[in-house]
Structure 1
Amino acid sequence: MDTQPRDLLAFDPLDPVALTQALVRCPSVTPAEGGALGLIAELLAAEGFTVERPVFSAAGTPDVENLYARIGREGPVFVIAGHTDVVPVGDAGAWTRAPFGGTISDGMLHGRGACDMKGGLAAMIAAALRFRRENPDAPGSIAFLITGDEEGPAVNGTVKLLEWAHARGERFDHCLLGEPTNPATMSDMIKIGRRGSLTGRLTVHGKQGHVGYPHLAENPIRGMVRLLAALEATALDKGTAHFDPSNLEVTTLDVGNPATNVVPAQARAVFNIRFNDVWTPETLAAEIERRLREAAGNSVRYEIVFEPTNAVAFLTEPGPFVAMVADAVEAETGRRPALSTTGGTSDARFIKSYCPVVEYGVVGQTMHQVDERVAVADLLTLEAITHRLLTSYFAAAGAD
């Protein structure tokens, strides 16, 4: 049977399960704040954190509320980052539990954002509060960078929150981002980098005409096939020590032609490249343009447009901080996690410009799905891992 959420007006903020339930019950679908940031702000302020909630704006995008909190004024500064916004629930009738109910059944906590990433954020908040209560005089500072714009345009969120904090003199030493990194168990994976993302829109021009009179027409599909084949004929790279080879996928191919006896005037394709740290968006675009030019010669008329991107590849080199995170995971789970750079993009791509960042969170098998859920046991494990990491981190700081 389902267990209804406990009294959320009096839950223990050190309980990651109760805090996850409270956050899931906040309908914070991008860009709505939904009460989630307000709840976190209240909890952190009650524990002595200085809390600010800046709102950022940009033309053509919704205003987004964010949260920055810090306790302590000295270094080192350990940052916990995350987001409270979630994707839409889709067909609410397809859910077997209320999407914003936070109910527990068979050891799983259900609701939109349970694993991506309110559960991870709740566990890390609970761990930080427990650590501060136990170590009120610990050296250094703990800060939170939390946005409401990770699942949306990512324009008025973490990137601007970091700029805002930096302009105010805030400096960070290391960051843990609580995205759901584990494929199956809590001992599986730490993300130490992310691939970049570049989207191209390719148009090949022809001449419309009757298929029975091909000499009076110019079929752009032949040219499109030629160009796409050239893009995929040779691998972009062989990968690196920490990254798989860059990968190009054609995602759309269209001529908009409902007739079977008409040669179309244009053919259009969209492709996306997930690229490693061999490339920047600029060098990769230049390579794509070179391949197209060579393949087109003087016979294929085409245009290529690349969408603007802020998704660059980055790597946090394995070292003491990465080892400290892996040590904490191994100590609590009994198995050392792999160091990975797989998956999509995240806000770590912004944070990496300010301090080393690694990602670790709960199992992400149901993120963005109907009946999204997280194991209660995983929330407790993540809280323990984060608490152990904070203990090790600030013990090392005190020894320096």
Structure 2
Amino acid sequence: MNKQQEIDILSHLISIKSVNDHEAAVADYIESLFKPYEDQGVKIERVSYAPDRDNLIVTIGEGERMLGFSGHEDVVAPGDLSQWNSDPFKATIKDNMLYGRGASDMKSGLAALIAAMLDMLENHHVPGKIRLLCTVGEETGEYGAAQLTKLGYADNLAGLVIAEPGNDMHEIGYTSKGIIDYIVTSKGKGAHSSQPQKGINAIDHLIDFAVQVKPLMAKFDKVNPVLGPLTHVQSVFNGGEQINSVPAKAVMKGNIRTIPEYPNQVVFDTLNGLVDQLNQKPGYDLTIEYSFPEDAMPGDKDAPLIKLIEHVHDELFDGPIEPKGQAGASDGSEFLHAKGDFAIALIGPGNNTQHQSNECVDLDVYHQSIKFYQQLAEEFFAQP
């Protein structure tokens, strides 16, 4: 595969408007690239999450050990189009940078994995069994990865590489914080504000929760040496209908970033316990729900997969590579629940322009990342 063909794959992926939806079109395109190689034993599977939202699984090669590659098919919205210098859904090249929504996060990484695997098939040299997991909904909750994990597609991998942006291939993410988004709803009873005794103020009760939850979260005071502390932010607060009425309903939302020292269930138990405690008071009616929580992803920077990535990187790239912790979650937070004990590494050709206007990727890094994934697979299966 020549460099123009590699660019064409990335450009086509960017042209598909898979903004938090429509991943089936991405799956269609990727499937079309691998279809010609089915006579080489390529196995293509689709798993639908919802209408027009398909995960895609492509397995090539043979052997007892299986290396996992993964990338997500969705992107975030482009935002204010006036802040873009080009159409976000038309790949534009300027000064060796390719611009477009997903150029960094993470259609360049996905395209590089695809190109690497296609090169192996084209050259009739697949060093071992490799499975590509293309997921839906990573940007809004990793639910494609959760679905594939529950169905067993990541079970008993020998290692998993997720092509998330890694500072132009100079960082390996090997551990990450978890996420808990919670929504607390307080129900009261409406009344005229001139007769508040006839109502139940939902805001007052919600404020009680908001005040009391802070010291409870502060008790989670251990600090992970790589990821730092657990963090808690009360980010949304809504309530009431109009100024002369006792509010009958109020809602607050909070975001917690967890660390391996405090599994999500420990935090759930604390939040649920506070809600139960407040509901013992007369008139209180609080409920709590969680939106796509993700566990923290523990990791070992000395794991054989991480060391192998460092070695291959040194052979192909100038400058050092650094194992790092990630503040945000990824599909790795779901794949870690698969059966088996395997390391997960996040490394891809993207950079820190993800989710921004004029998102871009360095084409030299992109082309070199394709060689990196090929050589990584070669040396991975050469190991005993």
Q: Same fold (TM over 0.5)?
A: yes
Give identity over the alignment, percent.
25
Matched residues in 1 for 2:274 and 2:35: separation?
56
Question: Would you say 1:269 and 2:252 are equivalent positions?
Answer: yes
CA contact (8 A) 2:188 2:285 kept: no
Aligned twin of 1:18: 8
**TM-score between the two structures when normalised by the length of structure 2:** 0.83
State how far apart, in whole Å, the 2-side matches of 1:142 and 1:108 are.
30
Shift, 1:248, TM fit? 1.5
| Aligned: 1:147 with 2:130 | no
Counterpart position of 1:69: 58
* Rounded Cα–Cα distance in structure 2 between residues aligned with 1:296 and 1:28: 43
Whether contact under 8 Å (1:250, 1:269) holds in the other structure is yes
Alignment-mate amino acid for residue 224 of structure 2: T
Please point out which of 244, 251, 255 is paired with 2:239. Answer: 255
Q: Deviations over 1:292-332 (max 9, x none)?
A: 56678747824131225352222233311122123333441
Give 2:332's aligned residue: 348
Q: Which amino acid aligns with 1:145?
A: L
Whether the aligned pair in 1 keeps the contact of 2:172 and 2:321 (CA below 8 Å) is: no
Q: CA–CA distance in 2 between the matches of 1:40 and 1:205?
A: 48
In structure 1, distance between residues paired with 2:82 and 2:336: 40
The residue number in structure 1 matching 2:99 is 110
Contact 1:231/1:288 (8 A) holds in 2: yes
Q: After the TM superposition, which residues 35-114 of structure 1 pair with which residues of structure 2 at under 5 Å, given as runs? A: 35-47=25-37, 48=40, 50-57=42-49, 61-92=50-81, 94-114=83-103
Q: Say which is worse superposed, 67-76 or 46-55, in terms of deviation.
A: 46-55
- Provide the residue aligned with 1:312 in structure 2: 295
Q: Is the 8 A contact 2:240 2:246 kept in 1?
A: no
| Counterpart for residue 3 of structure 1 | none
**Distance between the aligned counterparts of 2:125 and 2:368, measured in 1?**
23
> Which whole-Å CA distance do the structure 2 matches of 1:191 and 1:200 have between them?
26
Instruction: Report the alpha carbon displacement of residue 31 of structure 1 after superposing the two structures with TM.
Output: 3.1
Tell whether the 8 Å contact from 1:53 to 1:65 is kept in structure 2 after alignment.
no
The equivalent position to 1:301 in structure 2, one of 268, 284, 287, is 284
- The answer to whether the 8 Å contact 1:123/1:379 transfers is yes
Q: Is 1:368 aligned with 2:355?
A: yes
> What amino acid does structure 2 have at the position aligned with 1:22?
H
Which amino acid is 2:45 matched to?
R
Which of 330, 339, 358 is residue 324 of structure 2 equivalent to? 339
Contact 1:205/1:266, CA 8 A, preserved across alignment: yes
Q: TM-score, normalised by structure 1?
A: 0.80
Relative to structure 2, which stretch is displaced further, 112-121 or 201-210?
Answer: 201-210
Q: Tell me the equivalent position of 2:125.
A: 136
How far residue 206 of structure 1 moved from its aligned partner, in angstroms, is: 5.5
Partner secondary structure for residue 310 of structure 2: helix
> Conserved in 1, the CA contact under 8 Å of 2:169 and 2:365?
yes
Q: What one-letter code is carried by the residue in structure 1 that aligns with 2:44?
A: E
The match for 2:145 is 158
Is it true that 1:229 corresponds to 2:211 in the alignment? yes
The secondary structure found in structure 1 opposite 2:106 is: helix
- Bigger drift between 289-298 and 278-287 goes to 289-298
**Considering only aligned residues, what root-mean-square deviation do their CA atoms show, in Å?**
3.3
The amino acid that maps onto 1:346 is: S
